[in-house]
Structures are given as C-alpha cells and as structure tokens.
Structure 1
Amino acid sequence: MKRLKSPLFLGRWARPPAGDILRVGRRLALVDADGKWLAGNASGTGVGAARPIVHQGSVVGQLTLQAAPSSGRELDAAFLASQTENMAFAGLAALAFSLLAAWLLARHLLAPIRDLARGARQIADGSLAARIQVRSEDELGQLAANFNEMAERLGRVEESRRAWISESSHELRTPLAVLRAEIEAMQDGVRTPDPATLARLHKQVQQLAKLVDDLRLTLDRDPPGGDLEQRLVMPVAILEETVGTFRERYAAANIGLDTSRLVDLGWRVRGDAGRLTQVFANLLENSLRYTDAGGQLRIAAQVNKRELLLEFDDTAPGPSAAALPRLFERFFRAEPSRSRAFGGSGLGLAICQTLVEAHGGRISAARSTLGGLHIRVELPLERA
C-alpha cells in the first residue's frame, strides 16, 4: 500500500492543537492492516489505544494513540510551556490595550491644554478677543471657562483704559485751550495782563490742577489709605460744616436743603477729615448740578449696628435705569450737557467711591423716594 504523507492525510490530527498539554497530536500514528507505519508517531511503541479504519467492509488500517508519558517532568514541562505561551499572549494583549488607552487619555487631556496654551499666546500677543472651547465640565473645563472669563475682563479693562485716555485728553484739553488762548491774546497785544485776565488764568490753572488730582485719585486701584490721616473724626459735624459752605449756592439755585434729620450724637470714625470733606462736597455738588430749581436735598444720619449711615435724597430728575449702575464709573455723566455746563468732569462720584472705600466703608446709589437720586454712605464706627 502506498504511504500517505502525514500533513495531507492527517490534517489537523497531525498538528498538536494549541494548549495540548498531553501532546495527543504527537502521539497519534497511522498504520496499515499489517501494522506497518504510514504516518504520525513513528516510534510504534507503547500503543495505548487503536481504532480500525474500515473501507468497503474491509479493515485497511488503524489509527493508534501512543500511551501518555509516565514522567511527571514531561507533563510539567508541557504545562509550563502552554502557560508561558498563554501568558505571553495575554501580556501582549494587555500592553496593546494599555497603549491604546494611554493614547486616548493623553489625547483627551492634552487637547484642552493645547487650547489653553494657544489662547495664552494670543492674549500675550494682544489679541484679547481670544477664547477657547469648553470641552467638558471637569477641572479642565472649569479652567477653560475661567480663562474665557479672564479674557473677557481683560477686554473690558482695555476698553475702559482707552475710554479713560480719550476722556482724560478731552478734559485736559479744555483748560489748556483756554490758557493758550489767553496767553496768545496777551502776546499779540489784544489783551493786557491786568488783574482780571490774570484771575481768569489762575482759575484755569486751578481747574487743571484739580482735574489732575482727581485723575490720580481715580487711577489708584489700591485705595489711598496710606495718604489718609488716621484720626478719630466726627463725620456728621464735618458734613454739617460742608453743608454750610453750600447754602448760599443752593439758595441761589432755588434748591432747598433739609438737614432736620442730620443729628450729631458724637459718632466717631477713624479717618481723614479733609478726605471726608471732599466726599461730602462732591455729593452736594452733584445734587446741586442735577436737581431742578424748586427741588430740595434731604440729608439724614443714623446708626445701624456698628456703622454710621449717611443718606442723601434729592428731587427730580432722577437717573434712568440704564444710568444707575454706571454712576460710579469714571467720566460717566447721566446728563452730559448739564454736567459740562457746570464744569463737571464726571469724576465726582468715582472719587467718592475711592475715598469711602479707603475709610473701610461703602457707597451705593438708588432711585430716591423724592423722585431723584438716593446716595447711601456707610462708615464703620470706632469702637469705644
């Protein structure tokens, strides 16, 4: 009988399956009817089992299985080899999965960081309109949102700076133009340097000096607490004295001054009497400019816990809803034409806010029950 080649005849039987610890495939053999070896294990010893191969009713051969090895070492070696192969495959699979997971995680983490870096470079280059996409709600997403908020605030600061420069230039230009015109007129002989002309020049210089001082105050983001004379002062008495200096001007404008609720019970605060006088003078000046003839300003004082409350209420006209939250902005004028007519720079209330906060207090604005503006000043009282 012609021999058959084992790979073609036995197929999968000639190859040990993966994980075949007992190596069954290596112990299989094919013999003919006379017991001659044809394929498989050629040792032909230790046959453990045999199965006849029948063709057309006749036995043409046998498939034999050699007995399993009796040595425990061979079994251990076979088991160890199988486990090593399995562990190697599992390790490679775990490594591939770890690399994939690490790549995905790095991509997830680095994308917002790259966005932040790109946005920071744009901000550094002066592009304050730079914004980054908020990709999540975790810490990185919160960081992106904070970055956008910072950029928004920087944009507002830049707009405020440009507006401040523009308004400052305009306010400084007016007294300088008057001084230049007066001086050129004297140089051309049109006017003589008489006392009236010199008085006008002196007034413009004083106005210019006051404007420069006001600008310095409003530019100090750190309240000028170091410039304050920290003494025990009586703010109600200071306010009464300041009101006295305005009575003639209020009477000339036909605006009443109601100080019946301005009672001084000796309340004291720690601060600077000169700066408090400046605050009260600015508030009185503001009401004088914006209150219509025939109206009035009512001033009251009271104590709430450990704070002194000073309230200023005037009559119509009152600020609009849009103007109310902007009253303490530098150069803001609720009625520009009226403010300019009285020589106002739009810095009065901004200076009040700076100085009140320097004293540890607060100042706020609202619509008055009298129809005009309500200003509330809160100052911490000195503990006895």
Structure 2
Amino acid sequence: MSRREGSSPTGEFPAIRPLGGLPSFKVKLGVLVAVSVTVAAALAWVGVRSGLHPLVTIPAIVLVALVVTQILARGMTSPLREMTRAARAMARGDYSQRITATSRDEVGQLARAFTVMARDLEETDRMRRDLVANVSHELRTPVAALRGQLENLVDGVTEADPAALQVALSETERLSRLVDHLLDLSRLDAGVIRLDVQPIALTPFLHEVVDAASLAARAHERDVHWTIDVTPPDLAVDADPERIHQVIANLLDNASRHSPPGGRIRLTARAPEGGDDVVLEVRDEGPGIALADRGRVFERFERGGRPDGSGGTGLGLAIARWAVTLHGGTIEVVDDERPDGPAGRSSTIRVTLPRRPAAPGAPRTA
C-alpha cells in the first residue's frame, strides 16, 4: 500500500515535516528546543517593549511555544504514529501496511526497517497459508483413495485380491513419502544439519540408486528404461551418501513419473577437465520444463509450473536443492541437447558437487 509522500496515513491532515531534511533525530530535538526558546524569548521581549502585563504575556508565550513545538514535533513523530497503526493492523493479520519514510534520521531508518519487516511477514504468512493448503490437498487425495478402497473391501464390493490390496498399498506409500518429505522440510527449517561426509565411488553407488528406483517404478507400473554412464568409471566424490542418495532418488522418481511408456532415463556422472567438481545429470524423454518455470520447480509444491496427476508431492526437487546446497553445490535445469526435444522445454537436471566440501562433517546451515 503506497501513499503520496507528504500526506498523512489517514488522508485527513498533511504531515508537516519542516525538519525532515535534518539527518539526525538529536539535531531535530536541538533545533526544536532552540526554536521554542527563541520564540518564547522574542515574545517576552515584545511584551516588555509593549508594556503588557506579565499575566497577559506569559500565557500567550506558553501558548505560542506549544503551537510551534506541536507543528515541529508532528513531522518528527508521524512515522511513529504510522508504525503504531501498522502494528495494530498486523496484530489483526493485515500485513499490507506500509510506512511513509521521508526523513533520513533514526526514525526514518526505523520506518524503512519496519516496512521491510512487514513485507517479510506478509510473505511468510502467505507461504504458511500456501503450505497448509498444499499439505491438506496432498493428504486429502491419497487418504480419500485409501478410504474408498478400504470401504469397498469392508462392504464386499471389491474382493480382497492382490490387485485391490496393491491399490491400497500404493496410496499408503504415497502418504509415507509425503510424511518423509515433510520431516525433511522440518529439518531444513530447523537450520543446522550435520553431514556425514565420506568418499563415494559413483559407479556402484549410482547403480544401487537406480536399482531402487527401478523397483519403485515397476511397483507403480511405469514402463521406463535406465542408462548409467560414469566417466571415468572410477570417479568418486566426498559427500554424505544418504543425502546424495536422496537427491538422485528424487530426481529419478521425478523423471520416471513424467516419462512416456517405454521412455529412457539417462543418468550420467562426469568430471569436467581442469575442474574440482563432479557433474551429475538426469535426463528423461518427458514433456520437459518450460524456460519460464526452471527457477520455480525447485520451490515447495511446484510441479513444473502446472499441477499434474503423476502422484508427486511437489517437494522432491525442493528437498534435492536443499541437500545439494548443504554440500556447497548447485542444481539447475539446463538446456536439453536432444535434437527431437520439445521447443523451449528441457528434461535435463544438472547437479554440480565439489569433490571435497569445504569442511567435511561440519554442521551446515540450510
């Protein structure tokens, strides 16, 4: 909410700020006292020169000094009054209040800091509401499906055969993934995570991750094929195996959910010449991520800029970015080099990790 500079927050009276150009609140107070004393002394001198009785001049001097002080002080304290009104509005849940800060003194600095805080609180409150709404939606879908399936089994509508139980198991696994992701996010928001850094031989490690992803894909009847390419074959990196397993597993799960039937998912690892990094890439043959959405897919509950029915929680890529950042690395969507790839979209996600983190095993701030 913006206001025209120089107007009051209520629009009733103009915010007179004759001392607004002074850089310090202490200087303003000094000027205020000096002006008040000067006005009082001038009026006293005029009264004496005019021969007026003190009972007349003294009340007049006090009244005029109060008026001058009120005029000068109003501009000095108006941001404080605005902050009071804004704080009361924020207590009611209204974070849209903004403070008009035209002065350069300490009160003006406080007003600008208050406005920044109001914006941050507004964004935090929006994220909290979005989180509650998204989690409620994500929980409702598998819970409703699981409840419906169990009701059919209890009522005898559906036989308790392996196919029916597999449906219930799939929804239960989806709930379990969401709970696991939420627990990871709670660790992220806690701020400090300790990495158990150790050497990882990437060839056997990536085969192990792909084997687990392949089992999960078959359980969900996803017809995909996997390719692993590690160059050189003995490539290794110092990292936390559990966290890197989590990163690759989330990327592979994301790729398998968006791959067409019979699609191929390619996982590569290489060491660029002359560098101290290891580059991991996951590429699928799905519809890809639009250029405009490449930054947003790593936010919580984002799915390539659009909702889908693939069964994802919308948290996998956010958790992957968190784990990669803990290692001092980066994760991004890069241009797809497939000649037959969709125009303007990419299905390649690249993870860049330092071969040796700056402080192995030390606590990292998320």
Assess, with a 3 A threshold, how the Cα gap between structure 1 residues 265 and 107 changes in structure 2: closer, same or farther: same
Q: Answer with 1 or 2: which has the greater Rg.
A: 1
CA distance in 1, matches of 2:125, 2:67: 46
SS at match of 1:225: strand
Q: Does the Cα contact within 8 Å between 1:259 and 1:298 map onto a contact in 2?
A: yes
Partner residue of 1:299 out of 254, 268, 273: 268
What is the alpha-carbon distance in structure 2 between the residues aligned to residue 373 and residue 139 of structure 1?
51
* Counterpart Cα distance in 2 of 1:318 and 1:199: 30
Kept after mapping to 1: 8 A contact 2:263/2:284? no
- Structure 2: stretches of 5+ with no match in the other structure: 1-37, 45-60, 361-366
Instruction: Find out whether 1:183 has 2:153 as its counterpart.
Output: no
CA distance, structure 2, for counterparts of residue 200 and residue 142 of structure 1: 59
Report the alpha carbon displacement of residue 282 of structure 1 after superposing the two structures with TM.
1.0
In 2, Cα distance between the equivalents of 1:98 and 1:142?
Answer: 29
Which residue of 270, 294, 310 corresponds with 1:324? Answer: 294
Alignment-mate amino acid for residue 353 of structure 2: L
Tell me the percent identity: 34
Work out the CA distance in 1 between the residues paired with 2:142 and 2:43: 81
Pairwise CA distance, 1:213: 1.4
- Distance of aligned partners of 1:193 and 1:258 in 2 relative to their CA distance in 1, 3 Å threshold: closer
Q: Are positions 1:168 and 2:142 aligned together?
A: no
Change (3 A) 1:138 1:381: farther
1:92 aligns with 2:41: yes
Alpha-carbon shift at residue 242 of structure 1 (Å): 1.7
Q: Structure 1 pair 299/137, CA: closer, same or farther in 2 (3 Å)?
A: farther
Secondary structure of the structure 2 residue equivalent to 1:107: helix
2:84 aligned partner: 117
Partner residue, 1:236: 202
Residue 276 of structure 1: how far off its partner (Å): 1.7
Structure 1 partner of 2:350: 376
User: Distance between the aligned counterparts of 1:187 and 1:90, measured in 2?
Assistant: 91
CA distance 1:131–1:199, change in 2 (3 Å) = same
CA distance in 2, matches of 1:185, 1:90: 90
CA distance 1:161–1:367, shift in 2 (3 Å): farther
The counterpart of 1:279, out of the listed 239, 247, 263, is 247
Distance 1:90 1:121 in 2: 37
User: Does residue 1:135 correspond to 2:99, yes or no?
Assistant: no
Return closer, same or farther for 1:315/1:109 CA change in 2, 3 Å cut-off. farther
The 1-side partners of 2:137 and 2:237 are apart by: 42
Deviation of the 1:235 alpha carbon = 6.4
SS in 2 for 1:327: helix
1 or 2, which has the higher strand percentage?
Answer: 1
Q: Using the alignment, how far apart are the partners of 2:156 and 2:254 within structure 1? A: 40
SS in 1 for 2:229: strand
CA distance in 1, matches of 2:336, 2:352: 17
Alignment TM-score, normalising by the size of structure 2: 0.65
Report deviation, 1:212. Answer: 1.3
Mark the CA change 1:210 to 1:174 in structure 2 (over 3 Å): closer, same or farther: same
CA distance in structure 2 between the partners assigned to 1:366 and 1:101 by the alignment = 65
Check whether the contact 1:319–1:367 (CA below 8 A) recurs between aligned residues: no
Contact 2:293 2:305 in 1 (8 A): no
Output the CA distance in 2 between the equivalents of 1:263 and 1:98.
87
1:351 maps to which residue? 319
Q: Residue type matched to 2:316 in 1?
A: G
Give 1:365 shift.
Answer: 3.2
Deviation at 1:322, TM superposition (A): 2.8
Q: Displacement of 1:223 after TM fit?
A: 4.6
Trace 1:192-271 onto structure 2 (pairs within 5 A): 192-219=159-186, 220-223=188-191, 225-226=193-194, 230-234=196-200, 236-237=202-203, 238-246=205-213, 253=223, 257=227, 259=229, 261=231, 263-269=233-239, 271=240
Instruction: Indicate conservation of the 8 Å contact 1:218/1:330, yes or no.
Output: no
Matched-pair contact (CA < 8 Å) for 2:247–2:320: yes
Distance in structure 2 (CA, Å) of the matches to 1:114 and 1:325: 40
Deviations 1:258-294 (A, max 9, x none): 625464433322x2x2332121011122233335566
* In 1: Cα distance, 2:201 partner to 2:190 partner: 23
Secondary structure of residue in 2 paired with 1:106: helix
Check the 8 A contact 2:276/2:354 in 1, yes or no.
Answer: yes
Distance 1:267 1:231, change over 3 A: closer
Listed one character per residue, the Cα deviations across residues 198-225 of structure 1 (whole Å, up to 9, x for unaligned) are 3432332222111111122234413561
Contact 2:174 2:311 survives alignment (8 Å): no
Match of 1:154 in 2: 121
2:31 maps to which residue?
none
What is the TM-score of this pair, normalised by structure 1?
A: 0.62
What do residues 102-151 of structure 1 show as CA deviations (whole Å, max 9, x unaligned)? Answer: 66653333122222232222212211111111223555434323322322
Match of 1:368, as an amino acid?
D
Native 8 Å contact 2:224 2:259 kept in 1: no
Coordinate RMSD, CA, aligned: 3.8
Aligned length: 290
**Would the aligned equivalents of 2:267 and 2:280 in 1 still touch at CA under 8 Å?**
no
Higher RCO (C-alpha 8 Å, min separation 6)? 2
Shift in alpha-carbon separation, 1:313–1:189, aligned structure 2, 3 A: closer
Aligned equivalents of 1:298 and 1:106: distance in 2? Answer: 68
